[in-house]
Amino acid sequence: MSFLPVNKKDMIDRGWDELDFLYISGDAYVDHPSFGHAIITRLLESEGFRVGIIAQPDWTKNEDFLKLGKPRLAVLISSGVIDSMVNHYTASKKQRSEDLYTPGGFTHKRPDRAVIVYTNKAKEIFKDVPVIIGGIEASLRRFAHYDYWDDKVRRSILVDSKADLLIYGMGEKPILEIAALLNKGAGIDKIKSVRGTAYLAGEKDLPNSIKEYIDNYSQLHEKNKYVLIPSFEDVSNNKETYAKAFMIQYKEQESFSGRTIIQAHKERYLVQNPPPMPMNEKEMDRIYSLPYERTYHPDYQNEGGVPAINEIEFSITSHRGCYGGCSFCALNFHQGRIIQKRSKASIINEAKKITWLPGFKGYIHDVGGPTANFRHKSCKKQEDKGVCKDKQCLYPNPCKNLIVDHSEYLSLLRELRDIPEIKKVFIRSGIRYDYLMLDEKDDFFTELCEHHVSGQLKVAPEHVVQRVLDKMGKPNRKVYDKFVKKFYDINQKLGKEQYLVPYLISSHPGSDLNAAIELAQYLKDLNYTPQQVQDFYPTPGTLSTCMFYTGLDPREMKKVYVPKSAKEKAMQRALLQYRKKENYHIVVEALKIAGREDLIGFEKNCLVKPLKKEIKRKNNNTRKRKIDKRIKIK
């Protein structure tokens, strides 16, 4: 096989005079299953559809959008694997200097709010062709949502983009169903019942059952299959209302019991159908067996290629979904909490293919998913009833029904290690250490340290102060401390010198200066200075972002402290790197504001030494007191 068409010549070479689907992507064209555009286009191709890709078009030029002609069935649009605003700006709203998903790492190859810009242009050019949006940017902005960069609540992206339909989540099941309906002649305005989709409609265009529900919803039992949440206008004007609406959305993102969610936007209604049912092993295997080239398009070679390939070219996705429940993570809204895994045979087959790739040196960089050691559903109930709406699997305490078992994942890793061409299999996608510590057996932990760590293991305690961990949905600090001790004990027994690299978040809702200081003291006790600290980033679709905007924890509707000023956020970030010379003055200022000047000095527990002028002033005061004392004696 070869790459899908990117120009007219490619179409002619295939004997095509017209596309069925045109895919417009904010990322460079990388034909690898870590990229959504690769999966969706290859899947459509496998169903016999003619698909072409326009990657990173110049949004100011019509000809860039027209170079593959007008598609027969639809234009598909995604900003790429990252929200375009997150891709462009740091948490402090400064422009990033590199874009890993663009040839050569150059920036400005896609617009801000790429989905809206691309869709508006496509609607202008292809007037009678349906436009369907998807990917992370569309998925997480499907409802009225707080936007960090505008610092206000924005309307559903469907309103601003004027797209005909939105696919949320990973998208494979919905796109196949929609493609089949379009191919049979169905109008896009009639496609209103596909799971995993959202659409806008005026009241007269809504399905009759939804019209009836809206007319009578105040009299209906809450177990109705629909739920009407507060309107865009209401959530824009009242933060408490926003928090309540968010929590309803959050609980309904469940395949088995999730209801259709309706939200008014003036005279129109946003309707989100329930999520698709989880894919089984056979369906997952099919997705990852498609004929990907597993690299970037050769047109990018002269620009140095696409940097993102370096991390994922020799990596394997083993599953999707995560039941970890971290508040700052949007997976609940996108991939969902139910684990969907590939078979061992499928993964091993992919590993064997990787060994034949140019540049492969014997190292598989990763075998995992959002959380590497979640390889099966968290409990038996999820097989036919789905996840609990009002309860997390691990937080605040592990559920009594949780299945703790690493044996299948360990067996997979052993089989991968046995492939002759493979020297080492690393795990870099993250280990959920609290789940690991629940395992009564040590075989996985031991083999993890012995075979799958490349000197450093990245873990994510995020913080150590309980009131902050509660807002993050993370386990108690004692669990992490036990994990750290066991990690180093195992490595000592193995005779290995390996280290933990903890990920930490500063300025998360719930974290005040005193919490940041306590975390700094913890790091001092460890004698560890993090090279990088992630300042909390309020991205669409997360529970933490709801807290950041509203000042309320939507789970219990109680007030939560939110550090918002640039000054305080800089202080909290600097405290976690208090040893850096450039942070000295801001750390001292933070300690004084918090009334913790006891941590400025020469004692063992102090974070920083006093300023020289303060030492001099104290010495002068000491000398003056001694002189005064002598005069008094005389």
- Residue 429's pLDDT is what? 86
User: Of 143, 252, 282, 119, nearest to 199 (Cα)?
Assistant: 143
Q: What pLDDT, in 10s, does the model give residues 152-168?
A: 999 999 999 999 999 99
Q: What pLDDT, in 10s, does the model give residues 539-566?
A: 999 999 999 999 999 999 999 999 999 9
Residue 533: pLDDT band (50, 70, 90) is confident
Q: What pLDDT, in 10s, does the model give residues 448-474?
A: 999 999 899 999 999 999 999 999 999
Mean pLDDT for 366-384 is 94
Mean pLDDT for 583-602 is 95
- How far is 602 from 620, CA to CA, in rounded Å? 18
Q: Which SS3 state, helix, strand or coil, does residue 503 take?
A: strand
Average of per-residue pLDDT values in the chain: 94
Question: Lowest-pLDDT range, 139-148, 437-446, 569-578, 619-628?
Answer: 619-628
Helix 543-550 and helix 239-251: axis angle, to 10°? Answer: 170
Percent of the chain with pLDDT over 70: 95
* Rg for the chain, CA atoms, rounded: 27
* Statement: residue 338 has pLDDT above 90: yes
- Residue 214's pLDDT is what? 86
CA distances 480 to 462, 463, 497, 519, Å, are: 10, 10, 20, 13
- How far is 580 from 611, CA to CA, in rounded Å? 15
- Reading the block at residue 221, the tokens are 């039992």
- Residue 629's pLDDT is what? 59
Question: Lowest-pLDDT range, 7-11, 83-87, 217-221, 348-352?
Answer: 217-221
506 DSSP β-pair partners: 535
The DSSP line for 366-433 is EEESSSTT--S-SSGGGGTT---SS--SSSSS--TT-----HHHHHHHHHHHTSTT--EE---S---H
Q: Residue 275 region, left (φ>0) first, then alpha (ψ -120 to 50), else beta?
A: beta
Q: How far apart are the first and last CA of the chain?
A: 101
- Residue 332's pLDDT is what? 87
- Residue 156's pLDDT is what? 98
pTM: predicted TM-score of the whole model, two decimal places: 0.94
Compute CA 420 distance to the chain's CA centroid, rounded to the nearest angstrom: 35
- How far is 312 from 149, CA to CA, in rounded Å? 29
- Residue 531's pLDDT is what? 80
Residue 231: CB atoms within 10 Å: 19
Mean pLDDT for 609-628 is 63
Full set of structural domains in the chain with CATH: 1-194 (3.40.50.2300), 197-275 (no CATH), 314-454 (3.30.750.210), 500-634 (no CATH)
Mean pLDDT for 219-224 is 61
Residue 529: pLDDT band (50, 70, 90) is confident
Mean pLDDT for 52-59 is 97
The DSSP line for 235-271 is HHH-HHHHHHHHHHHHHT--TTTPPEEEEEETTEEEE
Q: What pLDDT, in 10s, does the model give residues 294-319?
A: 999 999 999 999 999 998 999 999 99
- Residue 631's pLDDT is what? 56
Residue 215: pLDDT band (50, 70, 90) is confident
Contact criterion met (CB below 8 Å) for 38 and 30: yes
Mean pLDDT for 96-116 is 96
* Statement: residue 479 has pLDDT above 90: yes
- How far is 305 from 184, CA to CA, in rounded Å? 40
198 DSSP β-pair partners: 166, 272
User: Of 283, 277, 285, nearest to 318 (Cα)?
Assistant: 285
Q: Residue 165 region, left (φ>0) first, then alpha (ψ -120 to 50), else beta?
A: beta
- How far is 51 from 16, CA to CA, in rounded Å? 10
- How far is 562 from 108, CA to CA, in rounded Å? 32
Residue 430: pLDDT band (50, 70, 90) is confident
What are the strands, taking DSSP E only, across 392-538?
Answer: 424-425, 456-462, 499-506, 534-535
- How far is 553 from 136, CA to CA, in rounded Å? 24
- Residue 616's pLDDT is what? 56
Contact criterion met (CB below 8 Å) for 432 and 371: yes
Residue 378: pLDDT band (50, 70, 90) is very high
Residue 224: pLDDT band (50, 70, 90) is confident
More reliable by pLDDT, 333 or 239: 239
